[in-house]
Structure 1
């Protein structure tokens, strides 16, 4: 049977916050206020599940008739989380998609947070219609990355963990926005770290466009103009909502009949 579903719920789990909203996937916009709760200390699976339930209860969208997608800060293959940079080590090798489905009593779709944010920007935002290699970076607790070539996702690119020459910490530990808060860095001091990071990406990959997402992207005018790159660099159109929108699109993967469901199948086809 052909359906005309155009709405879904997206939940974006991060190292410090868990956000969710109801999304119109024809237009790629939020239909509800965004609900955010803190990520539980330690970010163990049971505690994260409880926090996701709180988000869904607050949104009033616990009904399984409304599709649901969940984005998570880890390498994700076939519903299993294979890394745990900013969450408990319990998630490594964990059947996360099944865990959430059992815990929520409904079918969901599950993928890496930066990957779905990148695809949301490709479908509705700054990467739409851009040829060549686009790198989206989410600057938050860590550095998430999504690689898109001619609009096609190359999934699970953990480029935030690139090592720094002769240093004990990787770029994520040194240049994520959490370093600004932890070390009380000024915008210019942080920009010097970002300059080193983006220059390294530029040298290694020769991208055609950088897109900067994450919560700090709303302050992009404070640090992007301080960078000196050959590659254009712009804030994500959907800023910190790109993960929610991309996650919501996952929820329509088994529906048929609208452009929104085509977007969902594109995402699942490259993240599953």
Structure 2
């Protein structure tokens, strides 16, 4: 049984931990507001650009002169999954859930005889992927020093990915990230970003007669396709940042509550042992007095 001194030390230790988790919750809450604003502001543009590119892709006839980002490599054998996660922990299962979604996608592709490789954005996925898929990480982008992801960071990742694609390192690229829904909900997504998936015919039928493109669909696509890859990666970074702070705030709130519960239990235990010790001392004093 722990002594009164040991219990007192544990209570003080848990109180110190509670102060830290409470402070981290407040910091995450403050950063969450700004991150949420950025994610929500960037979402409509990224979605609309993706829709425009998909719509354009559905209207052209793919040929030798078509941009490779829409025409593809002519094969579907090697897939690259860009896994965008956080760099830090203390955010519950946020990064783990993204890795799980990427792992499920990879295992599904491998079950169909495809080769799968990974490109890591953020450190938290690297250790898990190296353990489950040894030797499959072919590239990474370190965001540890990036406090607020900017378009230039997404552009750097996109340029590296497109260079690898143009050199024939892979045939299809997927982007794994967590879409921010609310503080309590971040939904892992795995979207194909290379080559572009053409929109379904029924989605473009109504607009096809009312829109004319100048100089032409293929010329526009050649300019928009690299930008679309960067924008989708930028969106993933913004969504991840908001989701990370939301998940961290929730995790720190739970940790603060758990610390409070533990303090209460330890305090009750400490008071009971202290009362028992006092009672024992009183009994000994009374017994000694009676003996005299």
Give the TM-score normalised by structure 1. Answer: 0.24
Which has the greater radius of gyration? Answer: 2
> Whose helix proportion is higher, 1 or 2?
2
For normalisation by structure 2, the TM-score amounts to 0.23
The structure that is strand-richer by fraction is 1
